[in-house]
Chain A
Amino acid sequence: GQSLEQPSEVTAVEGAIVQINCTYQTSGFYGLSWYQQHDGGAPTFLSYNALDGLEETGRFSSFLSRSDSYGYLLLQELQMKDSASYFCAVTSGGYQKVTFGTGTKLQVIP
């Protein structure tokens, strides 16, 4: 089966940089995704890494190391609106099953 581990909570200061790590165990790995979810809302897609390296989208970047089964989400210039839960998710198997981690609750403080 699949398993993903990420920290349960992170607190960071507005304007700072925060990194949320994710380690995974799976077979038939395709790629690692990141999602943001505000309280009471639906998850929204942030990024996807299929190959090793860094992907940058605005203030958000995502990194993948397939050999280490490890990835991270980097949020720069933190804003109060970035306070949310962040989930890593693995796409695996022939039918591209998508399995989520338990999420990291990010609190941005002034």
Chain B
Amino acid sequence: NAGVTQTPKFRVLKTGQSMTLLCAQDMNHEYMYWYRQDPGMGLRLIHYSVGEGTTAKGEVPDGYNVSRLKKQNFLLGLESAAPSQTSVYFCASSRSTGAGELFFGEGSRLTVL
């Protein structure tokens, strides 16, 4: 059982480049989340989705876009990367009746030069 899988795990970008992070879950979860984690800042919610075709903004959505075309996948896009987006990105999923239990992927470390 793979759980939540993130690709890529590491990426280096130049300022202004674009990229997409892919999150896939095989647990048939309704809810999916993208967080970024920076030293001393905890986990900050970027965007989340409560079902296929629906997305919502979190605490720090600027500079990111997301799509949930299939229930099992949640994509996070950076249209024009900036050094401030250097971070570790975590995807998570949960059941709609999941009692606050999020299942996390292993993280994707992104460096923007």
B96 contact set on A, CB distance < 8 A: 96
Q: Please determine whether B107 and A99 come into contact, CB atoms closer than 8 angstroms.
A: no
Given A95-B56, A103-B42, are A42 and B99 neighbors across the interface (CB < 8 Å)? no
Closest to A33 in B: B100
The contact string, 1 if C-beta is below 8 Å from chain A, for chain B 23-67, is 000000001010100001111110010100000101100000000
Task: Determine if B106 and A95 form an interchain contact, defined as CB atoms under 8 angstroms apart.
Answer: no
Q: What 1/0 flags go to B86-109 for Cβ under 8 Å of A?
A: 000010101010011111111100
Given that A42-B90, A50-B99 are contacting pairs, would A98 and B42 also be in contact in the complex, using a CB cutoff of 8 Å? no
CA–CA, A74 to B69, complex, Å? 41
Chain A residues within 8 Å of B100, by CB: 30-33, 45, 48, 50, 89, 91, 98
Interface residue tally for chain B (C-beta within 8 Å): 27
For the complex, what is the distance from the CA of A100 to the CA of B102, rounded to whole Å?
A: 12
Does residue A44 face the partner (Cβ distance < 8 Å to B)?
yes
Which one of A30, A41, A100 contacts B43 once the chains associate, using CB atoms below 8 Å? A100
B31, B99, B105, most chain A CB atoms within 10 A: B99
Knowing A87-B42, A100-B43, A102-B41, the reply to whether A95 touches B48 (Cβ < 8 A) is yes
- Give the docked Cα–Cα distance between A34 and B45 (Å): 16
A-side contacts of B35, CB under 8 Å:
100
What is the CA–CA distance of A8 and B56 in the complex, to the nearest angstrom? 29
